[in-house]
Amino acid sequence: MLDYLAEHWWVLAVRGAAAIVFGLVAVLWPAITAAALATVFGVYALVEGVFAGWAALRARDEDRPPLVGEAVLGAVVGLVVLAWPTAGVAVLTVLLGLWAVVTGVFEIITAYRLRRELSGEWLYIFAGALSVAIGVLIWIAVIPVAFVIGIYALFFGAALIGLSLRMRSLGQGTGGTLRSGGSPGGPRADGTL
């Protein structure tokens, strides 16, 4: 998986940029209608699902399941929200919370699998834990949903962009080839540096 992420670091960057754009819209225009917010979220979730699907197609078999789950969930939730943006704030709140919690769990699983190949996978773990926490906050409605979602998207996007830059530098630092099983900067599975 590390090889894939280092080679396709830009996929994480696009996902992060989409999250930041969505977060800015939600935070800077908190008075927008629920339908408009739902539409923006639907597009974001769909883009997130498509890029997670792209990652799943290119991942090794053992790394594929959490990415497939994230892709399917993002695409389905995005399409449902886009098809019925005026379905009501309650339905949107449940979908947003569910999406955030499940996506966060899949991201934590992916990060856990990355730990064998990469030190410092904390950015992916942070993004996943943040997703779970925000999903729970959305469900219990402690603070306004648009603000929570916006702040979450900004932090999530920043974490993904940080991870993408780390993957880019790892790929460049090794001439674009990493061998699974070794830690960056240390011996690889074949004993070479």
Q: Which tokens hold the place of 27? A: 């935070």
Mean pLDDT is lowest, of 16-20, 93-97, 186-190, for: 186-190
Select from 168, 136, 173 the least CA-distant residue to 12.
168
What is the C-alpha separation between 29 and 146, in angstroms, rounded? 9
pLDDT digits (tens, 9 = 90+) for 72-131: 988 998 898 888 876 656 667 787 788 889 989 988 988 888 777 766 677 788 888 988
Which pLDDT belongs to residue 180? 47
Compute the distance between CA of residue 152 and CA of residue 1 in angstroms, rounded to an integer. 26
| Lowest mean pLDDT segment, chosen from 58-62, 72-76, 153-157, 171-175 | 171-175
Taken in order 74, 35, 39, 82, is the CA torsion positive or negative?
Answer: positive
Whether residue 4 has pLDDT greater than 80: no
- Write down the residue that tokens 């339905």 correspond to: 91
Alpha carbon distance 92, 1 (integer Å):
33
The b-or-e profile of 14-27 (16+ CB within 10 A means b, else e) is: bbbbbbbbbbebbb
CA–CA dist 81, 191 (Å, integer) = 50
